[in-house]
């Protein structure tokens, strides 16, 4: 097997295992709203184009920079969450008195956001342990949500491009 195939297979295997790590990460009240997937090859182009469009429309240049990063990546892992209130008595961590008031106001349950963060952390720690370069990017997640790439009604997501090169392309990006 040639080196580039070895690296590609290692990155793909890592991306798949990152999805497993996200799925098996602890969840509040045992409720799982986390969804994870891997994008490769031709699937990266439309995502990068959406990121560029968001950047141009909003004036946030980092979207275009990040789009360039994913086009230079082997794969992108997407991890997102749907939203719902958990019904935890006496919580109020979302800023509302209870889940009913949070839901009525369109509030976001703290547990969904926390579960997403734990899942992302679990996934990127696996990649780091395998020495696969990665970076958590809000910009990728926003574009993925806007494109409706998830199977369920994911509202918050992050993307993690993966790369195996002599120097990580995700730092010193200027």
The pLDDT assigned to 153 comes to 96
Separation CA 139–CA 159 (nearest Å): 8
Topology (CATH) of 3-163: NADH Oxidase (3.40.109)
> Does residue 127 contact residue 5 with C-beta atoms inside 8 Å?
no
Is 136 in a helix, a strand, or coil? coil
The pLDDT assigned to 39 comes to 98
Q: In angstroms, how far is CA 84 from the centroid of its own chain?
A: 19
Separation CA 132–CA 125 (nearest Å): 10
Q: What is the CA radius of gyration of the chain?
A: 17
In the chain, what are the domain boundaries?
3-163
The pLDDT assigned to 114 comes to 97
pTM, two decimals, is 0.94
The pLDDT assigned to 1 comes to 55
> Does residue 92 contact residue 98 with C-beta atoms inside 8 Å?
yes
The pLDDT tens digits of the residues spanning 159-169 come to: 999 999 888 88
Distances in whole angstroms, Cα of residue 94 to Cα of each of 84, 151, 162: 12, 26, 33
* Core vs surface per residue 29-68: b (16+ CB within 10 A) or e: eeeebbbbbbbeeeebeebbebbbebbeeeeeeebbbbbe
Q: pLDDT under 50 in the chain at which residues? A: none
Nearest one of 57, 58, 49 to 140, comparing CA atoms: 49
Strands (DSSP E) contained in the chain are: 34-40, 75-81, 133-134, 156-163
């Amino acid at each position: 097997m040639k080196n580039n195939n070895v690296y590609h297979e290692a990155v793909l295997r890592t991306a798949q295992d990152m999805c497993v790590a996200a799925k098996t990460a602890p969840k509040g009240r045992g409720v799982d709203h986390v969804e994870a997937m891997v994008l490769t090859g031709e699937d990266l182009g439309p995502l990068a184009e959406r990121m560029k469009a968001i950047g141009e429309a909003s004036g946030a240049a980092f979207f275009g920079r990040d789009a360039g990063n994913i086009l230079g990546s082997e794969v992108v892992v997407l991890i997102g969450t749907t939203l719902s209130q958990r019904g935890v008595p006496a919580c109020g961590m979302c800023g509302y008195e209870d889940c009913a008031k949070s839901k009525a106001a369109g509030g976001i349950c703290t547990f969904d956001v926390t579960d997403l963060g734990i899942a992302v952390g679990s996934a990127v720690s696996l990649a780091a342990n395998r020495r696969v370069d990665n970076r958590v990017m809000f910009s990728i997640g926003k574009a993925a949500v806007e494109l409706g790439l998830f199977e369920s009604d994911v509202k918050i997501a992050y993307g993690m491009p993966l790369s195996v090169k002599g120097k990580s392309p995700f730092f010193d990006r200027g």
